[in-house]
Structure 1
Amino acid sequence: MAGAQADSDHLALKAFKSRITSDPSSALASWAGNQSLHLCQWRGMTCGMQGRRHGRMVALDLSNLDLSGTIDPSIRNLTYLRKLDLPVNNLTGNIPSELGRLLDLRHVNLSYNSLEGGIPASLSLCKQLENISLAFNSLSGGIPPAMGDLPKLRIVQLQYNMLDGAMPRTIGSLGSLEVLNLYNNSLAGSIPSEIGNLTSLSTGWANEVSILGDVYSYGILLLEMFTGKRPTGSEFGEALSLHNYIKMALPDNVINIADQYLLSQDNDGEEINSNCERIRDKRMACITSILHIGISCSKESPAEHMQIGDALKELQRTKDNFSMSLR
């Protein structure tokens, strides 16, 4: 019986691979079906070590591999899957509603892809879910009210999509919710009063969502604007993210990461000559200060984020200092 169950994992993964149309780094080469290599040794796999999960897939991590294709609905047959990580790829199509069949699922991260369609209401059947991260896609439609039926949900990352409609009042039932990121969507109406029930929600995320969005996205936006780089990219190497890439460069290598347009051109587009090195240095000091603010706003832990009000004050102080230095 156990062998037959493991075979269902094998078939589901083969079906998943069949929908991948481009694998530029040959990341899935180990999925070739070589019988001498157990699926638990395939790239991205983690299998259970004991009990009914022994030898069964419990985690799939194919992050940041530039994979193209769609997500095959047969993923529903990975019965014991707890963690699904597919961020920073080029996946398209819809999020399969069949994910709702994965009753052990605790963590779903499909961020930074090109997924379309709606958020499957069937995810509300995954009562163990703690983290739903679907940010930076092209998802549309409303936030399913049934999402309020997930008692263990702690993190909801839906920023940078095309979601519309009102925020469901049922969100107020998520008593364990710590992070709610809805920034840069097309949601309408006011924040329901039920959000006030979310006593575990991180400071600065709930109160600012209707006006300025969350602190994290604001920080990432600052980093993008002053480096000219997207939040993900192959040029980051081992840093893996824009945040880490800039953090590693500060404060001594700002000249190598800043948008060169900001350092080498005046507002009218004319190149700065050698007599304007003082202005260039002032600009670099200004950009360095702004990048420090962006880093403080986009730390991994929400508890460590700079408050949005403090960030705005620091930006104003940086602007004032820069203006005074040019007088």
Structure 2
Amino acid sequence: MTHELSGRNLLSSVRKDLARYRERIEPQQLRVAVIRFLPTEGDPPEWSLRMEASRVSAEQKVRAFTHLGFGVDHVVLPGTVSAAEFAARIDACNSDQATRAVIVQFPPPARLTSLVQRLDPAKDIDGLLGERSLQRSCATADGIGRIVAAFDSGATVAVVGARGFVGSGVVRLLADRGTPVVPLDQGDDLSRAARADVVVSTAGSAHLLTPEHIRPHHRAVIDSGFSPRSDGSVAGDIHPDAARLPQNITPVPGGVGPVEMAVLMERIVQQVADPDLKPWTFPQSPYVSLRASAARMRSTGRTPGTASKPRAVPDHGAAPRHTQSTNRKRGSPTR
């Protein structure tokens, strides 16, 4: 039976642990700015859904930082905001000594994206500035890396969406640890993921990975996909038929999103209250290695890497077999 890796439980634990810093932070009257954008009339439905996801995500950040004793400026800008006004907002945050962190919910309107580079790197706690950032990766990639660390002893990790913003951060962090990585992206043969020990998907393409890619021997599958739907539901990158196969999996919602929030809370505490705060670690869960899994399946007369009861994958709009590399830093709510 597949075990769900709860990001919500992890976040609850981190919140409790960091609550002690409130009495040190609150008297300083420090602030965090969270900037997001509204959809405009005539925007395509997909964009409107992404802006709604951005709203929910921003509100979760407001609650997280408020819990630590920060004042939070939740800045909501119309999609039609001028480049000059957006730039002025960022410049004002940069010059305000009380504002210690600035988060721009992604994606902003395309014409404004380059202006995010105006951020003071010292206030970029979410790694939005790429090579200019003081962070090694965005918070989402950092959180994914910590989940993988609970399963990557002697493992090979397939990263789907490896050239995107989040995926490239995951690849970089795994390389720092010396973990073998199979980077996969648009145009690659995604079936190669089936031969890895751990699978990470940051593609942002609903139900992209099917039982062809996800297998019972996988120690863990980390699904960072978050695709809002018009009915109010959300879909991850892992097809429902495949989500029942691996030994461990992060659910959508409730998996990677809360872990991302826990990273942001840790980073801001390290920045303003305790630079020696040790990073939290994701709790380990039992798993069986690929070799042991193969031996077990051979003993039952089944072919290694297959499910006990193969299921036909229904055609839900014929999801593509290749990632679309859409894993830019998104303003997703707690996934």
- Normalised by the size of structure 2, how large is the TM-score? 0.29
If asked which structure has higher relative contact order (CA below 8 Å, sep 6+), I would say 2
- Could you say which structure has the larger radius of gyration? 1
- Normalised by the size of structure 1, how large is the TM-score? 0.30
